[in-house]
């Protein structure tokens, strides 16, 4: 069967005994075949692995294969995804969080058809459902700019503009995405060093920087389950991790003399970002960007310079900035900059620039 597998779904799982059966069955119920689903057991101490093993017998079919990979100790979701993607046999690879569900049986079928038609390297659905359970879930219509979904097409079409807005806001639900295996092998995948925070946002920034072809679809084929154990509920950890991946990208753009170009693309949207107070959610990134504009004022217009000066003062007064451990951040950033995955990205990025 391995020679004929066309799609692989990777499910990173850590102590997911409560949800894993629903996640796996939602993959099995997809109409697209042949398919394999890989559950990467990320050091679970509960019955997650046992449940997957039992499901492998129950859901066995010639055109569906369920595999369990065990990484040993808990290494984080990004590492689990990296392991799963590296082991995938499909021509297309996607992932599903262990606590999420595919609720549209044709999700993968629609997506791969769209990607083939548009010769896209990766793609995602724009909407999803969210809540503690499906029956009471709400439709989430995400957007690159708060309450300005009508402008999304600009960010979808323009890789540089999308990269720029991702510094402040990531509207992409990771469980809705699909990536060509060829793209993964050529342009990289998840960076294990990010562990449980922003592994997908980091990947979207790299793919945007490399100007890889994107295909988006309307619809909401994924249920994103909300519960108290999620990393996304831990605000300080999320902010620290998201700042790290974005700062790493900013430093790379500066190194390759691409940062000014990206900032100019985003400049018309700064008033919207500031009004929505998104700069306060990325205090160190904002400090870096606004300081760069001020220090390189000859590259930007007067209005942007005045915005940067005022916004820099505002950011430094904000509690998010003042509460950040700058020394720890600097140490963690050094570690991220030494990542092999990111080093490979830089080589590819340098070649295209």
What DSSP string describes 186-203?
HH----GGGTTSSHHHHH
Q: Helix, strand, or coil here: 33?
A: coil
Residue 243 and residue 224 in one domain: no
Does one domain contain both 160 and 189?
yes
Domain finish residue from 207, 232, 257: 232
Count the residues in the chain. 353
Contacts of 54 (CB under 8 A, 6+ apart): none
Both 109 and 218 in a single domain?
A: yes
Distance (Å, whole) CA 272 – CA 58: 51
* Sheet strand arrangement including 122-125: 64-70, 35-41, 7-13, 92-95, 177-180, 122-125, 214-217
For 351, residues 6+ apart whose C-beta sits below 8 A from its C-beta are: none
Helix, strand, or coil (residue 44)? coil
**CB 47 within 8 Å of CB 16:** no
Of 198, 232, 266, which marks where a domain is finished? 232
pLDDT at 5: 66
CB 253 within 8 A of CB 353: no
pLDDT of residue 230: 57
Q: What is the per-residue pLDDT across 267-315, written as a single tens digit (0 to 9) for each?
A: 999 999 999 999 999 999 999 999 999 999 999 999 999 999 999 999 9
Q: What is the pLDDT along the chain (353 residues), one digit of tens a residue?
A: 344 569 999 999 999 999 999 999 999 999 999 999 999 999 999 999 999 999 998 888 889 999 999 999 999 999 999 999 999 999 999 999 999 999 999 999 999 999 999 999 999 999 999 999 898 999 999 999 988 999 999 999 999 999 999 999 999 999 999 999 999 999 999 999 999 999 999 999 999 999 999 999 999 999 999 977 655 557 888 999 999 999 999 999 999 999 999 999 999 999 999 999 999 999 999 999 999 999 999 999 999 999 999 999 999 999 999 999 999 999 999 999 999 999 999 999 999 87
Burial class (CB in 10 A: 0-12, 13-18, 19+), 136: exposed
- Structural domain including 42 reads 2-232
Question: And the tokens for 222?
Answer: 């994924």
In terms of Cα–Cα distance, which of 42, 38, 45, 33 is closest to 5? 33
How far is 218 from 21, CA to CA, in rounded Å?
Answer: 27
CA–CA distance, 275 with 146 (Å, rounded to integer): 10
Tokens matching residue 124: 């995602």
Whether residue 70 sits in one domain with residue 39: yes
In this prediction the pTM is: 0.94
How many domains does the chain divide into? 2
Q: How far is Cα 10 from Cα 95, in angstroms, rounded to an integer?
A: 4
Is residue 140 helix, strand or coil? strand
* Residues 294, 217 within the same domain: no
Q: Which 8-state DSSP code applies to residue 37? A: E
Within this chain, do residues 185 and 269 fall inside the same structural domain, yes or no?
A: no
Q: What is the pLDDT of residue 1?
A: 39
Same domain, 86 and 180: yes
What pLDDT shows up at residue 147? Answer: 86
Q: Are residues 19 and 35 in the same domain?
A: yes
Residues 289 and 271 occupy one common structural domain: yes
Which are the contacts of 261, defined by CB distance < 8 A and separation ≥ 6? 160
Judge if 63 and 32 occupy the same domain. yes
186 contacts: CB under 8 Å, gap ≥ 6: 348
216, 312: one domain: no
* Residue given tokens 């870096």 in the structure block: 288
CB contact burial 100-114 (16+ within 10 A = b; e otherwise): bbbbbeebbebbbeb
Last residue within a domain, chosen from 232, 264, 279 = 232
Judge if 225 and 239 occupy the same domain: no
8 Å CB contact between 251 and 291:
no
Looking at residue 4, what is its pLDDT?
A: 59
CATH assignment of the domain containing 224: 3.90.550.10
């Amino acid at each position: 069967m391995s020679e004929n597998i066309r799609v692989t779904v990777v499910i990173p799982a850590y102590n997911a005994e409560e949800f894993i059966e629903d996640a796996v069955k939602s993959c099995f119920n997809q109409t697209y075949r042949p398919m394999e689903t890989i559950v990467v057991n990320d050091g679970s101490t509960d019955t997650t692995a046992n449940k997957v093993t039992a499901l492998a017998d129950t859901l066995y079919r010639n055109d569906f294969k369920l595999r369990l990979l065990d990484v040993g100790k808990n290494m984080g979701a990004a590492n689990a995804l990296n392991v799963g993607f590296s082991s995938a046999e499909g021509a297309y690879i996607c992932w599903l969080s262990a606590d999420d569900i595919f609720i549209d049986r044709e999700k993968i079928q629609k997506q791969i058809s769209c990607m083939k038609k548009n010769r896209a390297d990766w793609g995602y659905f724009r909407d999803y459902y969210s809540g503690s359970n499906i029956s009471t879930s709400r439709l989430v219509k995400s957007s690159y700019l708060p309450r300005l979904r009508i402008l999304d097409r600009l960010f979808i079409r323009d890789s540089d503009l999308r990269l720029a807005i991702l510094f402040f806001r990531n509207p992409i639900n990771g469980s809705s995405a699909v990536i060509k295996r060829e793209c993964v092998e050529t342009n990289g995948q998840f960076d294990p060093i990010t562990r449980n925070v922003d592994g997908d946002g980091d990947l979207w920034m790299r793919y945007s920087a490399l100007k890889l072809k994107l295909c988006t679809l309307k619809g909401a084929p994924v249920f994103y389950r909300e519960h108290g154990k999620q990393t996304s509920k831990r605000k300080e950890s999320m902010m620290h991790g998201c700042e790290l991946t974005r700062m790493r990208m900013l430093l790379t753009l500066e190194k390759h003399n691409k940062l000014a170009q990206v900032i100019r693309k985003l400049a018309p949207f700064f008033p919207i970002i500031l009004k929505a107070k998104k700069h306060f959610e990325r205090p160190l990134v904002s400090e870096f960007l606004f300081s760069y504009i001020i220090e390189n004022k000859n590259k930007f217009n007067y209005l942007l310079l005045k915005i940067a000066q005022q916004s820099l003062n505002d950011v430094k007064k904000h509690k998010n900035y003042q509460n950040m451990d700058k020394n720890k951040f600097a140490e963690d950033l050094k570690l991220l900059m030494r990542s092999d995955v990111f080093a490979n990205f830089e080589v590819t990025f340098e070649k295209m620039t």
